[in-house]
Each structure stands twice: as C-alpha cells, then as structure tokens.
Amino acid sequence: MTRGWAWRILVAAALGAALAAMSRWVPTWLDGWWPWPPLPEGSAWGRVAEAFAWATNPVVPTLALLLVALWAGRRRLLRLAARLVTSSLLSLSIVTVLKVLVGRERPSTPWLGVLTSDASFPSGHAAAATVLACGLIALAREARWPPRRSRWWAAAWMAFAVLVGVARLLLRVHHLSDVVAGVLVGIFAHALAAAFAHTPARPALPGRRYAVVSNPVRVRNAGLLRRVVEAEAGARGWSLVGWHTTTVEEPGAAACEAALAAGAELVLVVGGDGTQRAACSAIAHSPATLGLVPHGSGDLLARALRVPRDLPTAVRAALEGTPTPVDLLRVELDGRTEVSAVMVGVGADAAVLRDTSETWKRRVGPYAYLAAGARHIAARPVPTRVVVDGEEILDGAASLVEIGNVADLHQGITLLPGATPFDGVVDVLTASPDGVGDVARMIAGVLAGRTSDRQLTRDRGRAVEVTSAAPVPCQIDGELMGDVSSLRVAVDPGAVRVSLS
C-alpha cells in the first residue's frame, strides 16, 4: 500500500465516521445557529429561492455530473469519469438510506410544497450540489488547467454549493444540521470514490528528452493532451524536443524519424494501432523507447501490453516504465515490406474491415464491425496454401488466414490464445468453413473461448507464407493493403523497445 493511497483511505474513513456519528446523534444544537424565519410566503425573494431550489433538484446535478463523466471518458480521462459516476451514485444512495434510517421531520414552513412526505435529514440538494462541485474541481485538476483559472473555477463551484444550502435555509425546508450533513455526504462520496480511483506513482527516473507524435483524428482535445503530457513530464524533469502530428499521407513514421533526429530518448505515440504501427516501423532497432498512449477504437497492441487506456495514467506509465523488447512482424507483399505489431489478416477479416465505416468505428468501437461482418458470413472460401517454417499446414479452401503477434482480433474476441509479442514466434490460424453453418459455429466457438474446431487450423513459427489462387483482401494492424495473392511474414524478435510499467 502506498502512502498516498493510504492517506486517501484514511481521509475517506474519517469522513465516513463523522457522517455515521452525525446520523446517529443528530446535532440539533447546530440548528440554533440559523435563527431566522423562512422568507415570507409569496415574497419576491422567496419565489427566487423556490425557483433556484427547483433548478438544483438533486436529479439535475446528478445528471450534470454524469454528462461531465461522459465528456471525460470520451477524452480518455477514464479514471476521472469512473470517479464522477461512482461519487454521484454513492451520494444519491447514502442520502436515500439516511433519510429512511433517521426519518427526521421537516421544519414548519410555508415553502414545503410537495416535500411534506420527504424526510429532512440529510439535505439531498446540498449533497448533490457538493458532489457536483467536488467533481468539477477534480476535473480542472485532472485536465491540468492553469492555476489561476483553476482557483477561480473552484471558488465558483464552492460558492454554488454554499448557495444551494443557503437557499434551503432561506425557505426553511431544512434544518441547518440537515444541510451540513448533506455537504458531508457529498464530500465523503467524492473522497471515497477518489481513494479507489487513485493510482500510485512510481519513483521518478532522471529527466531525459522526449517527443510526442499524435494522431489529430483520434485525439478529441489537443489542448488537454498537451497540458497532461507536459505537466507529467515536467514534474519528472523531462525535456520536450518535439511535438508532431500525423496526417493521412504521413501516418507517423516521418514524425518519429524527426523525433529521433532531434535526440528523443522516448517517443510518446498518441493514437490507434495504425499510428503505433507506423511508429514501430520508424523506431525499430533504434536506441529510443516507444511510449504508448492509446487513443484508437481497438488499441490491440496497448491492450496486449497492458498499457492503461486512461490518458494521465498511460502518460505516467510511459515516463516511468521500463524499456521492454517487443516483437514485430516483417510482412513482404507486392514487392514491398511492411511492419506489423498486431496482426496480419488475409480474407474475411480484411473484407469486414474494408466495409466498416470509420465514423461508426469512432462512435461505437469494435461493435461497428458486426454489421459489416453479417454481409460476409456466407463468403466463398478461396483455394489457399499456407506454409509455416517450411512445413505446409494447409493446401485447400480457406476463408481466413490470421497471423498474429497478439491474442485478440478485437476487444473481447480472442482469436489466437497464447499469442504474445514477447516469445519470438508468430501464431497462425486458418479457417476453412463449408458454409454458413460452419461460419456461425466457428464464430460462436471463438466468442466462447474454444481453442479447437475441426475446420480451424492453428500453428506457430518464425516465418509464414500464404498463397491464394485468387487475390483476396489483406489488412495489417487494421489498415487495408488491398487485394493480394501471396505474402510472407517473418518475426523480428525484440525489434522495438516499449516503455512498460
């Protein structure tokens, strides 16, 4: 257990104990500190306070916090998003339970309206406003806003939470102790969620030189990315020597070469498998280390290497990690050589990829492949010959040949169990279905995790040759290579060093 995490747990436990004691022995003596009567019924200020109370109904801050969590999640602030969702649900649940357990009656006031049957302790309005304020203050910190802006932001949202509580007291629909308890609920819920979302920091390494290569299509907020990277690197004494963005024409190899020329010892690559493939091609067999900051729809290499998908955590892992040799695949096709870090597919999977909309991949991730896959379930197999390390493993019809450096074809679909980019060999799978029924059975088997099927052939080796009787679609790490009739794949063991925690 790290000191930081232990401290967070201790603070959350202290807040929880204080809330439990306050619920068991309601401090009614606090109520005298607000001696003023409610605003007169029908008064202008009373109507303003009543309208504000309706606008800050606990449902509204809760929904607002969930929307902020969605915003954060789409920008890869995943731990923050989880913290916001957890804290809002915790706050709502604790308020509901305490209202039932304590069962305190509301004060006498003309402003109760429909709340006459609702218990008074604790204030749901105050709890929801407080947890919203805490969450938005945490957002500013996680997004690395400038200090001055962060202070004003924090002051504004703390004032909002106070104003919500004051409005409840002006209407006299709560006792002061109810509002204080509501604030404590919100703080406790946020502190508890933050404690379990915390990631311990590793000892900082001596500062070195780094560069960034990012894919602007995948990065939703370039300013956020830059603030997070520069804050994490600056805290560790690292020096930035270049910030590059990719283009459709130049997916990252030239940018990485420029970073190496500038003396970068670590190249942070922000993007999906295609961007990472281009980076691997440029960095392979160089003294530099690759740092992965996944931002793709699949992120298969990052998942196989257990790289965090949360942006700040991934950046920290790259800066603090250990350079680890990772295998690459050298692919020869159509007279040229390509590099693969993930998988080379010939046949059905490349056809599905070709027919899948990029827009839908960005919106729904791997589920976008389902609609395209349905159109290829009855695809006719093509006569194919597959040779592994000089030994023929297939000479017959095949609808798919998959050559993998990692286990998963897509998230949750393990096509090559046991494949790993650290073993110096490549895994091979060929599928030879006779019809739609066989395809459906094989798909069900893959989803269920079965490793054997009479029409699936599995093997592994250092070099693979595939020859088809007719040109078939080919993909490398999710990038279409067009139709090919032959290719050769060879393992390049430990070709690139990746910073892994």
| pLDDT score of 199 | 66
Residue 407 in tokens: 């286990």
Bridge partners of 500, per DSSP, are 322
Tell me: do 249 and 280 sit in the same domain: yes
Question: Quick one: 155 and 217 in the same domain?
Answer: no
Residue 3 is predicted with a pLDDT of: 60
Q: Return the pLDDT at 196.
A: 80
Q: Are residues 175 and 45 in the same domain?
A: yes
pLDDT at position 353, please? 73
pLDDT in tens, 373-398: 545 554 678 899 999 999 999 898 88
The total number of residues written for the chain in this structure = 501
Closest CA to 118 of 68, 70, 57: 57
- Helix, strand, coil % over all residues of the chain, rounded to 5: 50, 25, 30
Distance CA(50)–CA(65), nearest Å, equals: 22
In the predicted structure, residue 153 carries a pLDDT above the cut 80: yes
408 band by pLDDT with thresholds 50, 70 and 90? confident
Q: Is residue 331 part of a domain?
A: no
Q: What pLDDT, in 10s, does the model give residues 69-90?
A: 999 999 999 999 999 999 999 9
Residue 455 in domain: yes
- Looking at residues 255-267, what average pLDDT do you find? 95
Q: Which domain holds residue 382?
A: 336-492
Residue 160 has pLDDT above 50, yes or no: yes
* Predicted local confidence at residue 1, as pLDDT: 45
Q: Report the range out of 8-12, 351-355, 417-421, 464-468 with the highest average pLDDT.
A: 464-468
Q: Could you tell me the CATH number of the domain that includes residue 407?
A: 2.60.200.40
> Mean pLDDT across the stretch 58-74?
96
Average pLDDT over residues 20-34: 94
Q: Which of 212-221, 224-233, 333-342, 374-383 has the lowest mean pLDDT?
A: 374-383
Sign of CA dihedral 248, 253, 254, 259: positive
Q: Which of 177, 197, 217 is a domain's end point?
A: 197
The reply to whether 46 and 175 lie within a common domain is: yes
| Contact present, 128 and 186 (Cβ < 8 Å) | yes
Same domain, 267 and 360: no
Same-domain status, 229 and 143: no
Which of 293, 320, 347 lies at the terminal end of a domain, its last residue? 320
Which of 137-151, 163-177, 427-441, 443-457 comes out lowest in average pLDDT? 443-457
Poorest-pLDDT segment among 405-414, 448-457, 464-473: 448-457
In the predicted model, is pLDDT for residue 310 greater than 50?
A: yes
421 and 483 inside one domain: yes
Listed range (55-59, 62-66, 295-299, 366-370) with the worst mean pLDDT? 366-370
pTM of the model: 0.86
* Confidence at residue 339, expressed as pLDDT on a 0 to 100 scale: 94
Please spell the DSSP secondary structure of 196-256, one letter per residue: HH--PPPPPPPP-EEEEEE-TTT-S-HHHHHHHHHHHHHHTT-EEEEEEE--SS--SHHHH
Does residue 110 surpass a pLDDT of 80?
A: yes
Written as one letter, the residue type at 154 is A
Task: Kindly indicate the confidence band of residue 448, based on its pLDDT and cuts at 50, 70 and 90.
Answer: very low
Give domain status of residue 477, yes or no: yes
**Average of per-residue pLDDT across 410-428:** 85
> Is 329 among the domain residues?
no
Does residue 203 form part of some domain? no
The DSSP 8-state label assigned to residue 58 in this structure reads T
Asked, for residue 179, whether it belongs to a domain, the answer is yes
Whether 349 and 396 share a structural domain: yes
What is the C-alpha separation between 353 and 414, in angstroms, rounded?
17
Q: Is the pLDDT of residue 18 over 50?
A: yes
Residue 348 pLDDT > 90: no
What pLDDT score does 465 carry? Answer: 96
Residue 191 falls within a domain, yes or no? yes
Are residue 292 and residue 184 in the same domain, yes or no? no
The domain tally of the chain equals: 3
450 has pLDDT over 90: no
Which residue, of 136, 171, 197, is where some domain finishes? 197
What tokens does 376 get?
């290829």
Residue 445 and residue 359 share a domain: yes
The answer on pLDDT for 352 being more than 90 is no
Q: Check pLDDT > 70 for residue 440.
A: no
**Residue 292, pLDDT score:** 97
Give domain status of residue 448, yes or no: yes
- Give the helix/strand (H/E) hosting 301: helix 300-304
Residue 361 pLDDT: 57
Strand ranges for 246-381 from DSSP E: 266-271, 289-294, 322-333, 336-340, 343-347
108-122, 330-344, 377-391, 480-494: lowest mean pLDDT where?
Answer: 108-122
Q: Is pLDDT larger for residue 23 or for residue 381? A: 23
Question: Is the domain of 234 the same as that of 358?
Answer: no
- Would you state the structure tokens that stand for residue 60, as one six-digit string? 């509204």
What is the rounded average pLDDT of the residues 326-350?
A: 90
CA 150/CA 162 separation, integer angstroms:
18
Contact present, 292 and 307 (Cβ < 8 Å): yes
Q: Are residues 127 and 265 in the same domain?
A: no
Residue closest to 252 by CA, chosen among 228, 224, 218, 302: 218
